[in-house]
Homo-oligomer: A and B are copies of this chain.
Amino acid sequence: MPHSDLPLEELRRYRPRLPAPDDLQDFWSATLAEAGQRPLDASWTPVDSGLVTVETSDVSFAGFGGSEVRAWLHLPARALRGDRQLPGVVQYQGYNGGRGLPHEHVFWASAGFAQLVVDTRGQGSGWTVGDTGDPVGAAAAQPGFLTRGVQDRQDYYYRRVYTDATRAFELLRDHPDVDGDRVAVAGISQGGGIALAVAALARGVAAVLPDVPFLCDFPRATRVAAGDPYGEIVRYLKAHRDRVDQVFRTLSYFDGAVLARAASAPALFSVALMDEICPPSTVFAAYNAYAGPKEIAVYPYNDHEGGQAHQQREQLGWLRGVLDAPAGRPTPRGLGD
């Protein structure tokens, strides 16, 4: 699996023409405003994860359209955290996964953060399990999630997902044990794409950690990615040969490389130069467009696994630095405000 995308020096300059729809802001304002009319209706139920170092709650809240979204909230054990408010990390999931079992993802809590591990609606029967369905159906689509409702931006699957994710961020930000000014969003692959979207849409995101993000620069991704999940769009257009423009029009409302222009929180990206799932050019398309302070960790010999534990270590150091920085940082506004 050799490097087949652009060389690194060209990646650093790669800025595709991706026109933002005129009504991008209106679309998201309206979407989030409508969602915001419903209360979060959050519930927190303590569960026994089997671990002694972390305390876990089963979380439920009302997402897009009011339907239930599930998550885990992990906090360091009371004996360790005392009564102070914790910084927080909202962690979104990679494609086809879910929040998993209660003990499965506790890195940030083990490092002293309040960690919210959020389901992606409809997903969670793949590499980790989830408990959140998507009650909304779709027009004829490819197997998979990427082409559900892609005919129309109002019906597109990720409209619901990004809205859920934004509300999950608000949930953690406003949690009594959490310092609402110090909440980051994070995720790998699809999780990274969602984090990027939340960075653009939500108000008050303190930092963003998108690792090998998915959902960026769809036009190029569908031409150069070797396989799924971008391949779902390719196969959809292979069948619906007459809908190319229509589909990319919809996707432009959800493209991380478009939304990144509206983000302002400090960001630490990562990219892998041998990534065949989320080719590095698509990641750099988002990174180069990102409007806030930013850094990127480059892994030259990795495929889509990216930096893994190495990147966790990087993130921990970087995030502590960012969140502990002297105050005065203005609260970033979101595209959805």
A289 to chain B, nearest CB (A): 21
**Interface membership of A50, Cβ < 8 A:** yes
**Which listed residue (B76, B96, B140) contacts A133, Cβ 8 A?**
B140
| A238 touches which of B53, B98, B130, B301 (Cβ 8 Å) | B301
Q: How far is the CA of A125 from the CA of B147 in the complex (A)?
A: 9
A309 at the interface (CB under 8 A from B): yes
With A222-B301, A241-B302, A301-B238 known to touch, is A110 a contact of B2 (CB < 8 Å)? no
- Give Cα A230 to B145, complex, Å: 18
In the complex, whether A112 has a CB less than 8 A from a CB of chain B is yes
Chain B, Cβ-Cβ closest to A101 = B309
Does any Cβ of B come within 8 Å of A316's Cβ? yes
Query: Chain B nearest CB: distance from A92 CB in Å?
Result: 15
Partner of A51, one of B111, B123, B141, B307: B111
Q: CB < 8 Å: which of B53, B54, B110, B134 contacts A137? A: B134
| With contact pairs A100-B309, A138-B134, A309-B104 given, residues A129 and B53 touching in the complex (Cβ less than 8 Å) | no
Query: Which single member of B100, B122, B226, B244 contacts A141 (CB below 8 Å)?
Result: B122
Most B CB contacts (10 A, CB to CB) among A53, A127, A136 go to A53
- Cβ–Cβ contact B111 & A2, under 8 A: no
| A224→B2 contact, CB < 8 A | yes
Q: Report chain B residues within 8 Å CB of A129.
A: 140, 239-240
Other-chain contact of A3, B3, B110, B224, B238 (Cβ < 8 Å): B224
User: Residues of B contacting A31 with CB < 8 Å?
Assistant: none
* Contact A240 B125, CB 8 Å, known A133-B137, A140-B131, A143-B145: yes
- A229 to B143 CA separation, bound complex (whole angstroms): 10
Q: A53-B76, A101-B313, A312-B103 are in contact. Are A125 and B110 (CB under 8 A)?
A: no
A242 at the A/B interface (Cβ < 8 Å)?
A: yes
Q: Whole-angstrom distance between the alpha carbons of A137 and B148 in the complex? A: 11
For residue A17, give the distance in angstroms from its CB to the closest CB of chain B.
13
**A165 to nearest B CB, angstroms?**
16
- Shortest Cβ distance from A70 into B: residue: B140
Residue A84 CB within 8 A of the other chain: no
CA distance in complex: A224, B53 (Å): 43
Evaluate contact between B300 and A128: CB separation under 8 angstroms: no
In the complex, how many angstroms separate the beta carbon of A103 from the nearest chain B beta carbon?
7
* Contact between B244 and A313, CB atoms less than 8 A apart: no
Asked whether any CB of chain B lies closer than 8 Å to the CB of A135, the reply is yes
Docked Cα-Cα span, A76 to B238, in Å, equals 31
A-B contact list, 25 entries, CB within 8 Å: A50-B312, A50-B313, A50-B317, A53-B77, A100-B309, A101-B313, A103-B313, A104-B309, A106-B110, A122-B138, A122-B140, A122-B141, A124-B239, A125-B235, A125-B240, A133-B139, A133-B140, A134-B138, A135-B137, A143-B143, A143-B229, A143-B232, A238-B274, A241-B302, A244-B301
Which residues of A are in contact with B by a Cβ distance under 8 Å? Answer: 1-3, 50-54, 76-77, 79-80, 96, 98, 100-101, 103-104, 106-107, 109-112, 119, 121-145, 147, 222-226, 229, 232, 234-242, 244, 274, 299-303, 305, 307, 309-310, 312-313, 316-317
